Amino acid sequence: MRALRLLALLLAAGLVCSAADASDVGATAQPGRHDVFNQVQRNAWYLPTTDHVAKLFVTEIGQGAPVVFLHGGPGRDFHYIIDALRPQLERHAFVLYDQRGSVLSPVPAGTEGELTMRQMVDDLETLRVALGRDRLVLFGHSFGSLLAMAYYRAYPTHVERMVLAGSMPPVMDQAMSDAYNKALEQRETAMMAREDAIARALAEAGLPSDKHRDTPRQARMRLRIRYNAPLDLVHVERWHQLTSGGIYYNHAAGAAIAASMPTWDVRPAIDAHPVPITVIQGDSDYLDPAAHLWSALAKAGKVRVHVIHDAGHCAWIDQPQAFAEALRDGLDGR
């Protein structure tokens, strides 16, 4: 279970990230194109799972070539990525869905502990069939990158290309887990120890000096500043662009899914069925800074890596323009 340290950090991070795009200010006059959350509601539908245990909430935003987004967690929801997708909506239609056990795709109470990664993979295959696509373009963030890799391993001929942001490593086995987990813990500690930046953000938010005087709303703000932002962002002062902070999150589902896949290796699938793979990673992403663990595959020409400088796990908040350019490159194949 030591290899689950990185997934445990994802669960603890409260990571659900979102950033506003200035180009959309004042765009409400054209709701068909620019009112993205209107599109989320208008295009929503439910997809029954093949075992009839759950119904997956599915929707779509944008126009053009379809891309299936795989959200982080596990156990979270897809909404945090929406603002990061805005610069791409003229060229791509993004299929967004809550994975089984997440907020909008619940399972029967008390059964969350039975969830597995294999179910997540099979649900994605069910979605592919429902969409009528021979192959999928996948964009996964954080845990979603691991789900993308797991699907690619199970259904390699059903994948057209993948973009992995804030990515998990391409391989994790028992032999490397101890060293990786130790380094991961050290990176987490360093990110969370930026007391000056945290103190400035707390002061700018106008929170009481004594946390025991916080209102419920202030307590949530404090959690986002003190715990979520330092782990996910280089620029802690942008904490307000992080959404949820764990509100939209099924902890039991996340723990079960994470425990079901302690090791993995996507390299054989890459060798046997190569597809375009782009990794977008902040140079301060606590999971794998600068995608170091992808470097061998990058040097071999099997994947492309975009390192976003001065950025963390939610790189589109730290460096929105650089992230948008990297995502466009990964999706359009340039």
Q: What DSSP line would sit under 214-232, residue for residue?
A: --HHHHHHHHIIIIIHHHH
User: Predicted confidence band at 251 (pLDDT cuts at 50, 70, 90)?
Assistant: confident
pTM comes to 0.90
Q: How many CB atoms lie within 10 A of CB 285?
A: 28
Collapsed DSSP state (helix, strand, coil) of residue 184: helix
CA distance 17 to 228: 9
Please tell me the predicted confidence (pLDDT) of residue 334.
Answer: 59
63-74 confidence digits (pLDDT tens): 998 999 999 988
112-139 confidence digits (pLDDT tens): 999 999 999 999 999 999 999 999 999 9
91-101 confidence digits (pLDDT tens): 999 999 999 99
Please tell me the predicted confidence (pLDDT) of residue 14.
Answer: 46
Q: Which CATH class is domain 2-332?
A: alpha beta
Please tell me the predicted confidence (pLDDT) of residue 28.
Answer: 38
Angle at 202 between CA 198 and CA 203, to 5 degrees: 120
Read off the pLDDT of each residue in 290-308 and give the average, rounded to a whole number.
98
CA distance 253 to 257: 6
Please tell me the predicted confidence (pLDDT) of residue 192.
Answer: 93
In sign, the C-alpha dihedral spanning 79, 318, 88, 170 is negative
Please tell me the predicted confidence (pLDDT) of residue 217.
Answer: 93
155 pLDDT higher than 70? yes
pLDDT averaged over every residue in the chain? 90
The answer to whether 123 touches 100, Cβ cutoff 8 Å, is: yes
25 pLDDT higher than 60? no
The answer to whether 148 touches 162, Cβ cutoff 8 Å, is: yes
Lowest mean pLDDT among 255-264, 291-300, 308-317: 255-264
- DSSP H/E element including 40: helix 36-42
232 pLDDT higher than 90? yes
Label residues 189-207 b or e (16+ Cβ within 10 Å = b).
eebbeeeebbeebbeeeeb
268 pLDDT higher than 70? yes
Read off the pLDDT of each residue in 193-204 and give the average, rounded to a whole number.
95
Please tell me the predicted confidence (pLDDT) of residue 34.
Answer: 59
Please tell me the predicted confidence (pLDDT) of residue 10.
Answer: 57
Please tell me the predicted confidence (pLDDT) of residue 82.
Answer: 92
